[in-house]
Structure 1
Amino acid sequence: MKLVAVSGSMNPHSTTRKAVSIVAGAARKEGAEVEIIDLGEWNLPMFDCRPDDSTYPDRVQRFKERMLEADGVILGSPQYHGTLSGCLKNALDFIGARELEGKFVALLGTAGGALGATDTLNTLNIICRTLHAWPLPSMPSVPRSFEAFLPDGRLKDEKLQARLEKLGRDLVRIIQRNRVGTLTH
């Protein structure tokens, strides 16, 4: 099983990247092959509605291919001004239902404030459903993310750490169950 985990932050010290890594690590322990796409390193250009997608740099085509080939997706975003990051929104603008239709998606958010990334997660949920994907019902958020992590990358809050790990395991398990159900009907 192939999963793509997208860290939607340009910050070189991204807490979103740390949170995505926790979810991806748990999915790997369940047997999934997980590729993390760190948007801070991929440097995708601005989506500008070109009539010919082939005129975008090669990395855009690679991003679209990875998303199309994935059996499931992990999307993580910091909360910026009450919504998802611009770089993640831009990356998602390059894909459509062709890449996400029928796929399960694990969503997680990080936020500097005490309330967490609820608005970001709600927006990502809407985007995924619009692209005919199946967002998992559990959408954990890391509040006060700037102080939430230990030096080893784990969360200080053990219950929140467990929720992120469960998200990764749940994504793998629901994809496996769906495959079995599809094969037997």
Structure 2
Amino acid sequence: MKILAIAGSLSEPSTTSMALNIVVQRARKVGADVEVYDLRHAPLPLYDGRITESKLPSEVHLFKKKMLEADGYILASPEYHGSVSGVLKNALDFIGARELSGKYVALLGTSGGAMGATNTLNTLNIICRTLHAWPLPSMPSVPQAYQAFYENGSLKDKNLQKRLEVLGEELVANLRLRGSRKRFDS
């Protein structure tokens, strides 16, 4: 099973990438092949709906190919002004239901504020459902992310650390279940 993980942050260092890494490591530990697509090192141009598929740059074709080949996804975003980051929204604008339809998606968010990334997660949930994906019901959020991590990348809040780890496990479990259903239906 192949999972593509994307952090919607261009910051260096990035608390969103740190949170994503916790989920990625757990998914790998329970048997998934996880690739992290780093928008900092593989930037996409600004989406322009007027561009025809054949005229898209090679970076976009590669991104769409990776999205299409993945069995599931982990999408993480910081909350910017009450919504998903521009860089993640831009990347998602290049794909459609063809890439996401029927696939499971683990969502997580980070926020500088004490309320967490609730609006961001709700927005990502809507985007995924609109593209016919299956967002997992658990959508953890790291509030006050700027002070939430130890230097080793783990969360100071052990309960939140566990929620992110469980998110990785749940994604893998759902992908395994989906795979067994496909074999049963054949």
2:44 aligns with 44
Q: Which moved more, 1:102-111 or 1:7-16?
A: 7-16
Q: Which moved more, 1:129-138 or 1:169-178?
A: 169-178
1:179 aligns with 179
In structure 2, what is the Cα distance between the partners aligned to 1:47 and 1:2? 26
TM-superposition CA deviations, 1:31-63 (whole Å, max 9, x none): 111010121221110001134223222111111
**What amino acid does structure 2 have at the position aligned with 1:182?**
K
In structure 2, what is the Cα distance between the partners aligned to 1:51 and 1:144? 39
1:138 aligns with 138
**What amino acid does structure 2 have at the position aligned with 1:78?**
P
2:152 aligns with 152
1:17 aligns with 17
2:74 aligns with 74
Percent of residue pairs bearing the same amino acid type: 59
Cα deviation, residue 12, structure 1: 1.3
In structure 1, what is the Cα distance between the partners aligned to 2:144 and 2:42? 26
SS at match of 1:82: coil
Structure 2 unmatched runs, 5+ = none
1:89 aligns with 89
2:60 aligns with 60
**What amino acid does structure 1 have at the position aligned with 2:62?**
R
Q: Give TM-score, length-normalised by structure 2.
A: 0.97
Structure 1 unmatched runs, 5+ = none
In structure 2, what is the Cα distance between the partners aligned to 1:10 and 1:54? 27
Cα deviation, residue 2, structure 1: 0.4
2:27 aligns with 27
Cα deviation, residue 144, structure 1: 0.2
1:166 aligns with 166
In structure 1, what is the Cα distance between the partners aligned to 2:178 and 2:163? 22
In structure 2, what is the Cα distance between the partners aligned to 1:57 and 1:182? 34
2:107 aligns with 107
TM-superposition CA deviations, 1:87-108 (whole Å, max 9, x none): 0000000000000000000000
In structure 2, what is the Cα distance between the partners aligned to 1:157 and 1:109? 15
In structure 2, what is the Cα distance between the partners aligned to 1:85 and 1:11? 11
In structure 1, what is the Cα distance between the partners aligned to 2:124 and 2:73? 12
In structure 2, what is the Cα distance between the partners aligned to 1:177 and 1:97? 21
SS at match of 1:154: coil
